Homo-oligomer: A and B are copies of this chain.
């Protein structure tokens, strides 16, 4: 799909990791298709995950009691967000597809990536009063959560103690992306790459390459409670 713009938000410390290999494949395959690919390599950027007063340039709306949500909303409207946030928002704005590549940490994304969500997707930019979910401000974009797990696939099934992997996806896919109006493609999950054979790892990398070849033909999931909990 020549001309499509892709932003990959990547959260792994080690380029030689399995996550690093998945990132490399995505960049290569999507570039080959003629897409324009941008990577936010959060650890390499030393991306700040903490939501603080430093995110607002200049005077606060209410300096008596700091309210991050209100202050970033007001700062967004007057063009007063910190430079790193403005840059990430510009990348998001331009993207047709957002890919999040990360290792699952504690049933969730690593803090550095959660900080990207907390700080970049502010009110006024990603959603607003009465503009959420299908009315969210990032309508027209797609997203894809691609991640690795520590435990095997059998650990993340409905009857098992860790429950269905889809339970974990609810806050990320529905609570963040859907909330902003972004459609969600099927997640791409590589189970326990550290505990499988080299052959199996290669198979998983090939499967990702193959999926990317027809990615633009995929239909988004029906991002409603049924998909997660039925």
What's the Cα separation between A105 and B174 when bound, in Å?
13
Inter-chain contact B64/A108, CB cutoff 8 Å: no
Complexed CA–CA distance, A162 and B106 (Å): 22
Question: A100 at interface (Cβ–Cβ under 8 A)?
Answer: no
Of the candidates B175, B194, B225, B229, the one whose C-beta lies within 8 Å of that of A108 is B175
Given the complex, which residues of B lie within 8 Å of A59, measured CB to CB? none
Min C-beta distance of A207 to chain B, whole Å: 22
Please tell me if A37 contacts chain B, counting CB pairs below 8 Å: no
Q: Is the CB of A118 within 8 A of B106?
A: yes
Q: Which residue of B lies closest to A180 (CB)?
A: B106
A112 at the interface (CB under 8 A from B): yes
Q: Which residue of B lies closest to A162 (CB)?
A: B175
A residues sitting closer than 8 Å to B (CB atoms) are 13-14, 16-17, 43, 46-47, 49-53, 64-69, 105-112, 114-115, 117-119, 121, 133, 150, 158, 161-163, 167-168, 170-172, 174-176, 179, 194, 225, 228-229
In contact, A51 and B110 (Cβ under 8 angstroms):
yes
Give every chain B residue within 8 A of A52 (Cβ-Cβ): 13, 43
Partner of A50, one of B49, B106, B194: B49
- Cβ contacts A to B, 25 pairs, < 8 Å: A13-B66, A14-B65, A16-B64, A43-B50, A47-B50, A49-B50, A50-B111, A51-B105, A51-B110, A67-B194, A105-B117, A105-B118, A106-B117, A107-B175, A108-B171, A109-B114, A110-B114, A111-B114, A112-B115, A114-B114, A167-B167, A167-B225, A167-B229, A168-B170, A229-B229
